[in-house]
Structure 1
């Protein structure tokens, strides 16, 4: 037993030391980020846990991995800002295989329209589908805060995740749950004209895709507004200025993003370079969507820091056949038709300067505005990907975290 304990101690210590070396050898922490030491600490722990999953996933069942994280979580709250926790309602509130939790309004609502009889509802999609992380209560504090500060009903949707489920499970689950609750708003005393959908990171991508898919549905209430917090809205071009500038910035590096994308879309990891270099996209497809994807659409001030003009490499048909579904509109809502974009509700977009997905927000903002959709844009010079989840974590919080949450609250209270 002592030998086993010693071996385990050496193993876990070795992995941690490797994670620390990996961080300092590959990670770039921009000078504009506040509390860089704190961010470095969080990123080291993040790399440590990701590495453990990679090493143990072939030998330990998923429940064992979740046990590992359940032990780590009380010690390091919310160290995995990309992970969507799985909340469950009572059995009669489950929607097929999808789980959700309802955060009620803490007081009589003030967001109902004049003459209305109910509350606002948020349909909230947050986190990402990376690997098998599934930490309970990861977003609980954020959801409670949003519901309380806006006097709203807030519905959080859980969805099936990798490695057991791949595309299009995320989109289908969230679509089914959203439709179910849109049809049942009266049950919860919700004003059907005051529905806001909100998503963070990959949740923002799903919110954008669902809002597009619901355009023209006469049998459902019209979405009042969509709130997209540093969303991932295109998988075509991973060489935009922000992808180059922030490719090694915590907590979302380009390498980790591409790995997560491959895992969710069931693409073999050997095609990662083809995805990064754009060789999996046919030339005619590039020409068709270049008007929306071109770095020329990014304001010049965002290109001043280390951006090198880029063009895709030679087309690789084998890579395209493997990865072509990442070019579907459900996975790249930026490429939706103009007729669909023009019918979208007003939008609130949050972007962070030190985020590889910054330019996704800028491109989607331009697409919406070009089609006459009202857009409110909130940009943080000191922000980074995943920062919103730390807003109430005291010693682990960052100034930009609270700024984002308060900006979202202010926007929702103003519509």
Structure 2
């Protein structure tokens, strides 16, 4: 339908998908109180267990996924319900501005501002300031990694106890990692679709897509500076198939470099943050999926954090694919990996 309407110049595919998401049936949980609010102009949804608690609860700030173009509060309603009920936590699900109308840094700023507002008013929502977790999936996981870098520098705010990143994208330099080669055509996000969404969100002309994929926009000096963190040499051998080819940068294109240079900023590629910043990050839980182009971003981030002494817990779904956690209740599209990832996240959070 989206394709037909787009060809007729009536609407666009993203608009049609976003409209269809608003028609989703929302199943109510009798055990959870749900409240829609706005923190200034940012839409948020608060999930709080109805059972009376004698003490302040854990708080979870959650940024939904959707590639900066899909995903919504409704789309992640069921997941937030389960997290609130199973972990006995207050969940703040954050909505944010998306494509096609809004570009970087809209997602980062909306999520950062909503987080700051929540952290300043924790007791109003019955949340223990010493037990706040910030979590996200896919582009939401990327947002967690960028927002936390801003939050750790704000001494007047309660410290985040832990961060939970589920299949995040974490760097914008190396798109030749083993997982990109092995899973380039695996749903729910292919390599071509991901690069297209990155270009659109970062306002990079789509004509530079091939330069990004081949590394032609990366100078040799830049590669030497960051390869210690993002090279496939940091990926364990068991994740490299026999058909894996080590990185080979295309002929350097200075015009492409100038067009894409902002992808090197830590606010876009949090994996590239300096050691001092990484060393201040909270305890971390990482989820990777075997059949996901972003699998190796997680593995690289895991090593970076561990090298700086950050406690990291890692769950790898051997049969998992990108976005599987949000399909846990979407029969017949739910898979064993959906519940396994969800249960792993729940188990970690309950221990915080």
Per the normalisation by structure 1, the TM-score is: 0.78
Of 26, 45, 49, the match for 1:105: 49
Residues 125, 206 of structure 1: 8 Å contact kept: yes
- SS in structure 2 of the partner of residue 222 of structure 1: coil
Of 256, 259, 274, the match for 2:196: 259
Q: Does 1:339 align with 2:279?
A: no
- SS in structure 2 of the partner of residue 394 of structure 1: coil
1:201: which partner in 2? 138
Deviation at 1:130, TM superposition (A): 3.9
Q: 1:53 to 1:356 in 2, by over 3 A?
A: farther
Task: Give the Cα separation in 1 of the matches to 2:12 and 2:158.
Answer: 42
Q: 1:397 to 1:298 in 2, by over 3 A?
A: same
Of 65, 74, 78, the match for 1:127: 65
- SS in structure 2 of the partner of residue 395 of structure 1: coil
Q: Count the aligned residue pairs.
A: 345
1:307: which partner in 2? 244
**CA deviation profile, 1:256-299 (whole Å, cap 9, x unmatched):** 00011011011111110011011112222211111001100000
Of 395, 404, 408, the match for 2:341: 404
Deviation at 1:371, TM superposition (A): 0.3
1:275: which partner in 2? 212
Residues 142, 389 of structure 1: 8 Å contact kept: yes
1:374: which partner in 2? 311
Deviation at 1:311, TM superposition (A): 1.8
Task: Give the Cα separation in 2 of the matches to 1:62 and 1:394.
Answer: 24
Q: 1:53 to 1:285 in 2, by over 3 A?
A: farther
Q: 1:200 to 1:55 in 2, by over 3 A?
A: farther
Q: 1:330 to 1:64 in 2, by over 3 A?
A: closer
Residues 211, 217 of structure 2: 8 Å contact kept: yes
Task: Give the Cα separation in 1 of the matches to 2:156 and 2:76.
Answer: 31
Deviation at 1:64, TM superposition (A): 6.7
Deviation at 1:330, TM superposition (A): 1.2
Runs of 4+ in 1 over 3 A off after TM superposition: 51-56, 61-64, 70-74, 133-136
Of 309, 320, 339, the match for 1:383: 320
Q: 1:150 to 1:246 in 2, by over 3 A?
A: same
Residues 73, 94 of structure 2: 8 Å contact kept: no
Q: Which runs of 5+ in 1 are unaligned?
A: 1-11, 13-48, 78-87, 111-116
The structure with the larger Rg is: 1
Of 41, 52, 59, the match for 2:10: 59
Q: 1:344 to 1:301 in 2, by over 3 A?
A: same
- SS in structure 1 of the partner of residue 325 of structure 2: helix
- SS in structure 2 of the partner of residue 199 of structure 1: strand
1:31: which partner in 2? none
2:288: which partner in 1? 351
Q: 1:335 to 1:350 in 2, by over 3 A?
A: same
Task: Give the Cα separation in 1 of the matches to 2:15 and 2:237.
Answer: 49
Q: 1:138 to 1:186 in 2, by over 3 A?
A: same
Deviation at 1:69, TM superposition (A): 2.0
Residues 73, 135 of structure 1: 8 Å contact kept: no
- SS in structure 2 of the partner of residue 154 of structure 1: strand
Q: Does 1:221 align with 2:158?
A: yes
Q: Does 1:238 align with 2:175?
A: yes
Tell me whether 94-103 or 167-176 shows the greater mean CA deviation. Answer: 94-103
Deviation at 1:52, TM superposition (A): 5.0
Q: 1:333 to 1:307 in 2, by over 3 A?
A: same
Q: 1:135 to 1:202 in 2, by over 3 A?
A: closer
The structure richer in strand per residue is 2
- SS in structure 1 of the partner of residue 80 of structure 2: helix
